[in-house]
Structures are given as C-alpha cells and as structure tokens.
Amino acid sequence: MPNHQNRTVLDPGRKPPAGSSKIGPADPNESLEVTLLLRRRQELPATDRFGRIAGYPLTREEFAARFGSDAETVAAVRKFASEFNLRVVSEAPGSRTVKLSGTVDAFRNAFEVELTRYQHPSGIFRCRENALTLPSAISGLVEAVLGLDNRPQARTHFRIRKDLRGKVMPRVVTGGYDPTQVAKLYDFPALDGSGQSIGILELGGGYNESDLTSFFSALKLATPSVSAISVDGAKNSPTGDPSGPDGEVELDIEVAGSIAPKAKIGVYFAPNTDQGFLDALTQAVHDSTLKPSVISISWGGPESTWTAQSKNAFESVCQDAATMGVTVLAASGDGGASDGESSGTLAVDFPASSPHVTGCGGTKLTGSGSTISGEQVWNELSNQEGATGGGVSEFFPLPIWQQGAGVPAAPNSKTGRGVPDVAGNADPETGYRVFVDGSATVIGGTSAVAPLWAGLIALINQSRKQPIGFLNPLIYTQAAEASFHDITTGNNGSYDAGKGWDACTGLGSPDGTKLLQALGG
C-alpha cells in the first residue's frame, strides 16, 4: 500500500475563483491528465553579468543532456504513479516533464488533495482548495503538479478602439498605424527575419488563413509561414468574434509577421489553464523542429491569481529558455497599476513579472514617416480604454541586473522585480491596423507590444547570426540609453514616468537600429 506518511507540502491551498459558487465534490471517477515538472539533472551554473552560462547558447540537445531530468528521477516518478494507480501518458526528460492520467480519486490519494466543482459565470470548473503534498519518494524531485485545478488562468491584453460614444469598434478601417509604420517610427533595421523562427502562445481563439492573406496583401508583403501547433488537445479554433480571443491571435501574428515577414511563425494553442499555459511554454522552448529563438506572450493575470508553484515552474522553464538562447517576451497588462484588480490594489501582471521574461509596457505614440512627434505613457483609464500595466512584484525579488534602475519598494514594502522592462505603442487610439474575422479593425494594448518586440528580436538575431537570448541583463547593463526613447510623461494610475527606468514604460520604447548596434549587430 502507498505510504501516506512523511509528506512535503509542494503548494499551499488556493482560493476558489472570485464570483464563483460551490457545487460539490468532483466526480471521483472523472478522468484527468496532470503535468509534472521535474527537477534538472544538475543545477544551472552561475551566469555572468549578461545572464550567460559557459558555452552559451546550448542547443536543445545539449540542454537535454546536461540539464534535463535524469533516469533515476523519471523512474521514481514512474514507481510513484504505479503505487497510486496512475498511468504514465508521456515522458520527456529533455524538457523535464512527465504526464500522468487517472481518476479524481486516484489523484486525491496520490497528492492528498480535495477537488471541488465550482460554478462561475464563464463555466463550471474543477478547483483545488487545500494544500498539495508529495510523498517522500518524490519530494525534491518534482517542481510542480499542474492540471488538478482547471479554472481559467489568464486573460488577453488587447483593446479594440472605441468610437466617440464609448462603443468598441471591432470593424473599422480608419485610424491607427500599420505595424510597419510603427517599425519605421522606431527605426527598426531594414531586415526581414530570414532564417528566424518566432513562437507565439495562445490560450483560445484562432486565425483564418484568408485574414492573413488579406492583411499581408494590403501591406504588399508575402504571407509569412504560419503553423498552428496543438498543445494538450487545443487547436486553431476561430470563433468569428473579433472582440474575443481571435483578436488576440491575429493581432499577434500580424504584428510579428509584418516586422519579420520571412521568419517562420509557430502558434502554440493550449487550454486556458495553468497547466495548458506551462505546457505551451515548455513545448515552444524545447521545440526541436521549429526552434523558435523568441517567444511572444500576450496573456496573463495579476500575480495573486497564480499559485506559487505555477509562478516558480514558469520561471524555471524561462531559465531553461535563457540557456538555449531563447528570448521570452510578455505583455505587462492593460489594467494600469492595479492590473485590473477590482479592489484597486497595486499588482503586476504575470508572466511579465517573471525575471527571465522581458515585460512589455505601453505608450501612446504619435508621429509621421520616421519622425516621432510625441510619446507618453498609455493611460486611457478615464475613457475606459485601459492603461499600461506596471509596478513592483511582491513575489520575485529584485534581480541583480535591475539593482541600479531605481525600482521603488513593492506594495508589501519589500524589494521586488520591477515591471515592465521595455515599451512600445499600445494606446488603442494610436493602435495597429489589423485584419480579424473578415474585417479591418484597430487594436491596441500591451498585447501588441510583445509581438512588436518579438519581430525586432528576430531582426536582431538575423543580423547577429546567433540568438541574443536572455535580453534583460543586456538592456540594463550593455545597451546605451540612446537605444531607447525615454518616456518621461504620464502615469499608469499610481506610478509616474520619469528619467530612466520607471514602472510605466520600463527603459522606454526602442530605437531599433541603435539597439541592434548596442547588442553587437
């Protein structure tokens, strides 16, 4: 019989989703699939001041051999699964993941968790409320157990432009910029992304080939190579609603693709759960077929809505990405300094707050041709059109490369990681002309900034002929101030812009050519 003694708490209990009501216990015979993230074969070595390790960057094969999970760890998990009537669905030692399937009752015994069904306006979900524990046989071998709880985890960070009456305009052909015009204002290098691959994570919706053809034809560009990659059974599934997740998916593809039209784009579709989000990131980071050198994320949520194990697991996989030369970018959110929290409490968005992710904030950009006439913090809260997220993490400590940036204390009075790191045009009033679900529209939000930067990183990697990889230490310690347009006007509700780094727009918006030069292009 399994030994229920000598257990270790991996993750404390979770609160049920706000606005939900309890239905009752989960069906003990319900079958589910759970992802385990395992420890590395050995700890990652110390990095230099640019966040690099010896032999940087490693190939995915080299990483798997040096830092994937060892056979003993996988065998211990396999034995644990057998003892608790769980089945091993898949093993991927290189990416440190094992997937197990079984009934609710079997997982309840294995991890001593109670799973409860809750009714929420958006559906019925299985939630974990009490602590998750590990038996001594696998304690210390497992970093995260995700999939027991399947509540929606993240939200999109895009805003559709509104009309004078405050109504969103999902189908409009006037206003905004083509993404290529924004690139010209930011002086992106005259490259096309040849030889590069960009990964985009999506947690819902989809794209239509006809939309992409219409969009790129209007820009007189060939449609990039775009492939839909299924994660945990999710697929490219357009809903026909441009104000829903389709707006996110097509915005991401069209912005990144217009900046780097010759790059290959892989869109990783996953369920909107913490398990789906992590599995999508893991698959993109370790994808030995597409081999993306930059990953764009436009989904997230306040740090407090994530479990500690989810945040730690995500950061752990982003550390893996750094060793393989993969840059990870994430939108900093569209709810201002509170990240949309109804209480108004200051909060930063995750995964943008993860130290090995480059957080992307938003500005309001005005200009013509190659001349910027003005740029300030994006803040349209008074018009119910959002504002750039930004602030200080209460979970992640201040990274060494950010210690000279003047990051203020976190709301809990501790020193924390400052968000965002960089910025770009995001105000829906100066947004991006894109094509979604059969019609042209103008979309803004920090969702647009992550793929904008992803396109720029692809151009930088093309010029350098090798990936730049973990960006944050480089831009704080190596890139000159001239590489950025310092945004000194505006606020995001609680934090003011100012000279140098600030909790609204980070170091500022890019001067693409100067940034390329600073990073060795």
pTM: 0.96
Tokens of 199: 């990964």
- State the pLDDT confidence band at 173, using cuts at 50, 70 and 90: low
Tokens of 309: 């194990």
Q: Give the residue-averaged pLDDT of 131-154.
A: 96
Domain ranges of the chain: 8-146, 168-518
User: To the nearest whole percent, how much of the chain has pLDDT over 90?
Assistant: 88
CA torsion angle 254 389 506 443 (round to 10): 20
Does residue 167 carry a pLDDT above 50? yes
419-429 pLDDT, tens digit per residue, is 999 999 999 99
- State the pLDDT confidence band at 227, using cuts at 50, 70 and 90: very high
* Largest interatomic CA distance in the chain: 72
Single-letter residue type at 398: L
- State the pLDDT confidence band at 52, using cuts at 50, 70 and 90: low
Instruction: Give the separation between CA 48 and CA 54, rounded to whole angstroms.
Output: 9
Which pLDDT value is given to residue 215?
A: 97
359-415 pLDDT, tens digit per residue, is 999 999 999 999 999 999 999 999 889 999 999 999 999 999 999 999 999 999 999
Tokens of 145: 């157990």
Q: Are 419 and 472 in contact (CB under 8 A)?
A: no
18-38 pLDDT, tens digit per residue, is 889 999 999 999 999 999 999
Instruction: Give the separation between CA 133 and CA 455, rounded to whole angstroms.
Output: 42
Which pLDDT value is given to residue 307?
A: 97
Catalytic residue among 149, 211, 252, 421: 252
Does residue 511 carry a pLDDT above 90? yes
Does residue 168 carry a pLDDT above 90? no
Cβ–Cβ contacts within 10 Å for residue 361, how many?
Answer: 34
- State the pLDDT confidence band at 478, using cuts at 50, 70 and 90: confident
Instruction: Give the separation between CA 441 and CA 435, rounded to whole angstroms.
Output: 6
Which pLDDT value is given to residue 477?
A: 87
Q: Are 387 and 332 in contact (CB under 8 A)?
A: no
Does residue 57 carry a pLDDT above 70? yes
Catalytic residue among 149, 192, 248, 315: 248
Instruction: Give the separation between CA 442 and CA 426, rounded to whole angstroms.
Output: 11
Q: Are 234 and 228 in contact (CB under 8 A)?
A: no
Is 447 an active-site residue?
yes
Does residue 172 carry a pLDDT above 70? no
Which pLDDT value is given to residue 342?
A: 77
Listed in sequence order, the residues at least 6 apart from 403 whose beta carbon sits closer than 8 Å to its beta carbon are none
Q: Give the residue-averaged pLDDT of 252-256.
A: 98
Catalytic residue among 447, 483, 502, 509: 447
Is 252 an active-site residue?
yes
Q: Calculate the average pLDDT of the chain.
A: 94
Instruction: Give the separation between CA 511 and CA 489, rounded to whole angstroms.
Output: 18
- State the pLDDT confidence band at 53, using cuts at 50, 70 and 90: low
Tokens of 346: 């200051």
Does residue 79 carry a pLDDT above 60? yes
- Give the single-character DSSP code of 177: B
Q: CATH assignment of 168-518, given 3.40.50.2300, 3.40.50.200, 3.20.130.10, 3.40.440.10?
A: 3.40.50.200
Is 225 an active-site residue?
no
Of 99-103, 146-150, 254-258, 399-403, give the lowest mean pLDDT range.
399-403
Single-letter residue type at 83: E
Does residue 3 carry a pLDDT above 70? no
**Token match 């589910």: residue?**
32
Q: Which of 259, 253, 196 is nearest to 229 (CA)?
A: 253
User: To the nearest whole percent, how much of the chain has pLDDT over 70?
Assistant: 95
Q: Give the residue-averaged pLDDT of 62-81.
A: 97
